[in-house]
Each structure stands twice: as C-alpha cells, then as structure tokens.
Amino acid sequence: MRRFTLLVCLSAAIMIACSAGAQSVKQQPGTDKFNNSVELLIFSSPQNLKCDDTVRVYTPEGSINGTLILLHGWSGCYKDWGDKMNIQKIANEHHFRIITPDGFYSSWYVDDTDKSKMQTRSFFNDEFFPYICDYFKLDSLTTFIDGLSMGGHGAVNLFIDNYKYLRGAGSMSGVLELGSTTLQDELDKIFGEKLEERKISESAHNRVSKIAGSDKLILVSCGYSDYYFKCTQAFVDACNANNVKYIRIDSPGTHSWKFWEYALNHHLWYYNRIIAGEEMGYKK
C-alpha cells in the first residue's frame, strides 16, 4: 500500500509540473557554417516563449576552463556567432565551452508588456539558466555571459538577474541605454503603451544599481567609431556612481563582425585571467 501511494504521489507531481508549463529539452547533433559538429539543445517553452528556443553548444577539445553564454544582436538568431566566425576554433583556443542561445529577431531579452506574447527574460531566468546550470553542472566561479549590441544589453541585464549563477559579464558594442537606439519602433512593439517607462526601467545603465558595490567584473568594449559608443559612456558613469567594477576597452572599430570577433577573443582572455586569479590591474 505504501509503495502504491508513493507511485501515485510521484505521478501526480509529474502531472502538476507538466501542467505548470515546465519546459522539455531535446538534445541532438548539429553543424555550423564551418562544418563544426555542435550539440543542439531545443527548449520547448509554451508558457514563456510560445515556441521553441534552439541553442548551440560548442565544447572545446581538451580541458574546459569555463563556460560562456554568448548572446546575439538585433535581427539575429542562435546561428549568428557560429556562422560569422569559427566559434569552435575560438572555444578550443581559450578552453571555454561557448553556448549560443536564440534571443530571436528583436526580443531585446526582455518580457513583452502583453503577457500573451513572448516573455524572453522570464524564459532565460526561469527555464534556460536553471536547466543549463544543472545539465552542464556549471560552476558559478567559471561561468560568464556576454553579447553584442542588443545582446550586450541582454547580457548585462541577465547577469544582474542571475548574479548567483555567474562570475562576470561582458558587452560588445552594447545598446546599454535603450533611449539611444535608432530602433525605437522595435521597442514600441514590445513595450507598447509603457514604452517610455520601460525604456528607463529596463535599460542596463539604470538597472546596474541593483548590484551596487559588486566585486564581480563587467567588461565593456566598443569601437569609438560606433554609433553606440555613447551608450558605453552612460553605462560606465552608472557603474562609477554605484561602485560596480568594470574594465572599459575603447579601440578603433565600428558596429561590425570584425570588431566583435576581436572583442570576443579579448573578453575570453580576461575571463581566463579572472578564473586563474591572475592580476587584473587593481588590488583585489
């Protein structure tokens, strides 16, 4: 009788989890433009995304020093990083597992004001992070998040939300102040009648106050010929005001894949130094 009761309880628990919209994840092999073999994780997220999210996972040959969650920019998808540069080669060189999820064409990694539409931030916070941390047995001391443009904004915001899971974050040409983007019509589609309010509340340069006094490092790279260079200034001003540690890397460059490949390699070099406990130019 006790065994039967236990089985009934377990079955009921599973049914409750499914009815609550718990995601299912499929693993399957895939390839990228450079014919690298990659692992694909396909998240079914009917509650938050109302669709699937496909994630590429690049595992380095040999040892793994750390893991980087790498977000794409506006008008992109999960394929962007691996099809624009040889991510497997970069993973091998830096001994980093690199995970490239789909942030969709114009999600800005935030929740739509209309709850019947895509809740991207909730997906990452409630489904993506808990799953990959468990699936890969990630160590919060060796796990980072980074991204370009729209993804730079998303990386900093998701770092703030998932602070306990992550050692640090980076932004490459990040749109860290949403009022500065030329894509206001795209934001209007997500924020609707709350456009002006949410541009302020969702901007990374405003939300950084939530981690005031943080001893975790944020890397901020931007080409000084980039339109979004001004976002970098707004963000570091906010970091200074809130005593948040950052390293700012300004260099010649534009909003381009050439710059992002350079910046990605540069950021991974820093992440390896952080993991190794090597000197970062200031007293720890």
Domains of the chain, earliest start first:
60-276 (3.40.50.1820)
pLDDT confidence bin for 4, thresholds 50/70/90: very low
DSSP annotation string for 8-76? HHHHHHHHHHHHTT--EEEEEEEE-TT--EEEEEEEEETTTTSEEEEEEEEPPSS---EEEEEE--TT-
- Mean pLDDT of the residues in the chain: 91
pLDDT per residue over 61-106, tens digit each?
A: 999 999 999 999 999 999 999 999 999 999 999 999 999 999 999 9
Does residue 265 carry a pLDDT above 70? yes
Residue 279, pLDDT score: 87
Does residue 204 carry a pLDDT above 60? yes
Return the SS3 of 223: strand
pLDDT confidence bin for 23, thresholds 50/70/90: low
